[in-house]
Structure 1
């Protein structure tokens, strides 16, 4: 017991304390998404800069599909099944990609754009900053910020796009019954 006391005293003087690893909200967000596997969400465009765009007046829906690589959300706009949001969590961080395909499954010329989650998100909301690939692929999109959030009760999924620090589009999808 005596040999333990000097070690304890030294530790207390040096500020030794039990520490816990900081919680990474990007991991929490992925966990939130994975907790939504197989859930369906339906809704519509809530806002758009151009009210006559391809989404105007159409039902928008998605179903959360969990894979070993991450979470995929195929987005249906009316009958158009060409879009998928892809979330992955790797060593570089939490990433959002937009996969666009032609009806035959081949990639669209504008596909796999997106970026990494920025600091300061939560377990229910993350914002993704456009990366260099996006800036090259989509003129004007170098300032894009996509924010994906889920309400506290898990019933409302929001997807918002800001460009040049101004709202550009927002979708509000509610959990579908069943």
Structure 2
């Protein structure tokens, strides 16, 4: 019997605050491009920025006409927690973690009462050095299995990308036939929003 899926599920569903603490003694990433990318975002800690949809080829408009805010809310040498607010929806938090073999990106999705959504802690891990300004996170095995369970197997092909430049931060998701990107203006910090749901 393979015990790893259960271990992965338990780990991913653990409290993000506990996960934040558990990374304290993890090995540091030694690849310069990973460290430089991580540190550029960390330098924005406690700041919030407004964004705009740059590309969204989906038919739905769940993000249309809503204020989009990223808040680099909590940072240490191992992990960054970045809530992504969509209008009044404070359900999303991006979590970037140094794993010892690269960088991990997870999406913590919560309900308003703080409980985890069924679709939570999906994401991916870097497979190469990337660049100081750009890192890619192809979907990991946990995410692929979760997407199949949720009835959206096409999402197993997801790759998430983050771009960090002096004037702009971008979050992008791509797969065959699907692209979404939101750009945040780093030149105009705004008032930080309230804590995201569950935090």
TM range (shorter): 0.7 to 0.9
What's 2:197 paired with? none
Q: What SS is found at the alignment partner of 2:143?
A: helix
Measure how far apart 1:57 and its partner are. Answer: 2.0
Q: How does 1:42-121 map to 2 (within 5 A)?
A: 42-68=50-76, 69-121=78-130
- What does the per-residue CA deviation read over 1:117-176, in whole Å, with 9 as the maximum and x for residues that have no partner? 13141112111110011111122122211110012xx22111111112x55211011123
What's 1:168 paired with? 179
Measure how far apart 1:113 and its partner are. Answer: 0.3
Measure how far apart 1:71 and its partner are. Answer: 0.5
Which has the higher relative contact order, 1 or 2, with Cα contacts under 8 A spaced 6 or more apart? Answer: 2
- What does the per-residue CA deviation read over 1:71-109, in whole Å, with 9 as the maximum and x for residues that have no partner? 111011011000000000022320000000000000000
Q: Over the residues paired in the alignment, what is the CA RMSD in angstroms?
A: 1.7
Query: Closer, same or farther in 2 for the Cα pair 1:155/1:39, shift >3 Å?
Result: farther
Measure how far apart 1:65 and its partner are. Answer: 2.0
Structure 2: gaps spanning 5 or more residues: 1-29, 148-152, 191-199
**2: CA distance, partners of 1:82 / 1:111:** 10
What's 1:16 paired with? none
Q: What SS is found at the alignment partner of 1:102?
A: coil
**2: CA distance, partners of 1:34 / 1:76:** 19
Report the TM-score, using the length of structure 2 for normalisation.
Answer: 0.72
Counterpart among 143, 149, 159 of residue 145 in structure 1: 159
Greater share of strand residues, 1 or 2? 1
Structure 1: gaps spanning 5 or more residues: 1-21
Q: What SS is found at the alignment partner of 2:34?
A: helix
